Structure 1
């Protein structure tokens, strides 16, 4: 069922995570060790403004850079570098390319970042659109939504109800698993982002949380595996603890269809290797489905012995060949 964001409610796994600790205190205690000398050298080499807060950057320190980001392009660029450093820790990733992109058009990009920081406090869609005007492009090379939504988040100065929140693939998977299947797993536009931020604010109220970012941290923390949207993942989640569990990339309807066609082939060619396989696999499928196989084309029980079958029986050596 493809629900809209307004029809989706917080998943149980999220509410259980929220109840398991003081999530707000944990979030505000976050800090990350960074490679400050590398950043200092690279910013100087590219002639860029900005200075890293220290060898360790905390979430609350980044909130402290927000007002400067709203006040000037240089302050916005400084918040950007500190945000990226916080997200990457001691990893450099593609930060040189980001620096080159900013240095090449510093005045314009600094102004965009400042404007986005200002807009993000009131209108997440406008802020998003400034940095990624459509699904296929972004204003700063190698800085897509996963990166710049962190910037928009820190530009909120830690306000508990700040609307512009972090969005990445792991968070999106949790949202999709909660029932909002039309929400993209990776490719978002400004309307998607606005709907997502509204959902986060609504879930904060429904869960009784104090902060929007606590909800976001929970969505990230309880995220399912990257392939969780595939049918076989749903099948495993629903059945793996059952006594009749069968592993495989298959849903219940898939198993019924396989059983149907295997039974049809086995009935038509009772002395074939397919019939031998059906004799082994058919009962397993039936057990996994608690006997609910749907309509079956078989006119004989699987692997009924025929008068002349013994002389034609295939053994494992022939099947292996």
Structure 2
């Protein structure tokens, strides 16, 4: 199933109906360690100052316009965004500061450009901070972090296209039917398709804001080891007590199918071939028939045209 075919999951619509989700999102605030940030930014000679000892979403929205106008203000939005995400935890923030200090002018301009692009073209904004053929531009700041920056660069516009993306949100999207959507490794095209999906679900659900949809996707996310609907083949085929339940991705299933097909093709009379004849169709059903490239598999009990027939000698039959 493609993103354009996906309907909002029932758990999301139920979550939206259970409260004033817009008010909840806009009321978000986080207590931060402002003295630590002041000391570290001064020590590294970097621009920026935290808004206060508590930072709210609406305060961060207020920094957006300046971030679009100045590289140093874009860096300031980044620090406040990271502090909002981490609260009183420092995590890898010293390494992030070192990365920015090492190439401050270029990174400041890059953040400013990404902030500008975030309002019109999520793919361009994403690609600026994580090019398709490279790692992220700022050390220790991957998509889970910088999509928050792109989000706040929208100044709180209800239909701002560049929204937050992390593993929990991605798991909800996968469970809704987008089986090939990664839970961690995204490129600019993935992000653009995700942004379109969020905007469409906002309309379909009658929500006021894109970030309300994102908050819902995060809130209803299944556990990391959840038994996804497309993994029902496990329950159908493996019942032994020592069977370990996945989770297996759709790509894992395709790889299993590929290697089982190779073994069955090479040894058509083996127990592995018999297992493949039974399990192969179930895997195919689990991934919607999308198995990718499959090795040559001979028909059951058949042989290739260039293969000589084999006459079974009854002399070797067990007495």
Place the TM-score, normalised by the shorter chain, in its bin: 0.7 to 0.9
- How big is each residue's C-alpha offset from its partner over 1:264-319, in whole Å with a ceiling of 9 and x where there is no partner? xxxxxxxxxxxxxxxxxxxxxxxxxxxxxxxxxxxxxxxxxxxxxxxxxxxxxxxx
CA contact (8 A) 2:71 2:109 kept: yes
- How big is each residue's C-alpha offset from its partner over 1:157-213, in whole Å with a ceiling of 9 and x where there is no partner? 000000000000000000000000011111000000000000000000000001000
1:253 alignment partner, one of 218, 229, 237? 237
SS at match of 1:57: strand
Residue of structure 2 in register with 1:182 after alignment? 180
CA distance in 1, matches of 2:27, 2:156: 13
* Segment drifting more, 222-231 vs 117-126: 222-231
SS at match of 1:197: helix
Residue of structure 2 in register with 1:288 after alignment? none
CA distance in 2, matches of 1:107, 1:49: 11
CA distance in 2, matches of 1:222, 1:254: 28
What does 1:150-229 correspond to in 2, within 5 Å? 150-228=148-226
Pairwise CA distance, 1:227:
1.7
1:59 alignment partner, one of 47, 57, 60? 57
TM-score where L is the length of structure 2:
0.73
Residue of structure 2 in register with 1:149 after alignment? 147
TM-score where L is the length of structure 1:
0.73
- How big is each residue's C-alpha offset from its partner over 1:132-158, in whole Å with a ceiling of 9 and x where there is no partner? 002650000000000000000000000
CA contact (8 A) 2:175 2:228 kept: no
Pairwise CA distance, 1:252:
1.4
CA contact (8 A) 2:126 2:188 kept: yes
CA distance in 2, matches of 1:136, 1:12: 37
Change (3 A) 1:74 1:11: same
Please give the root-mean-square deviation of Cα atoms over the aligned residues, in Å: 1.7
Structure 1 residue runs of 5 or longer lacking an equivalent are: 236-248, 259-321
Residue of structure 2 in register with 1:272 after alignment? none
CA distance in 2, matches of 1:166, 1:136: 21
Change (3 A) 1:229 1:167: farther
Pairwise CA distance, 1:250:
3.6
Structure 2 residue runs of 5 or longer lacking an equivalent are: 243-319
CA contact (8 A) 1:135 1:187 kept: no
1:50 alignment partner, one of 48, 51, 55? 48
Pairwise CA distance, 1:36:
0.2
CA distance in 2, matches of 1:176, 1:229: 12
What does 1:1-321 correspond to in 2, within 5 Å? 3-134=1-132, 136-228=134-226, 235=232, 250-255=234-239
CA distance in 1, matches of 2:19, 2:124: 35
CA distance in 2, matches of 1:136, 1:74: 25
Change (3 A) 1:230 1:210: closer
CA contact (8 A) 2:117 2:124 kept: yes
Larger Rg: 1
CA distance in 1, matches of 2:180, 2:114: 26
Pairwise CA distance, 1:44:
0.3
Misfit runs of 4+, over 6 Å: none
Length, aligned pairs only: 241
Pairwise CA distance, 1:234:
5.2
Residue of structure 2 in register with 1:293 after alignment? none
CA distance in 2, matches of 1:136, 1:174: 27
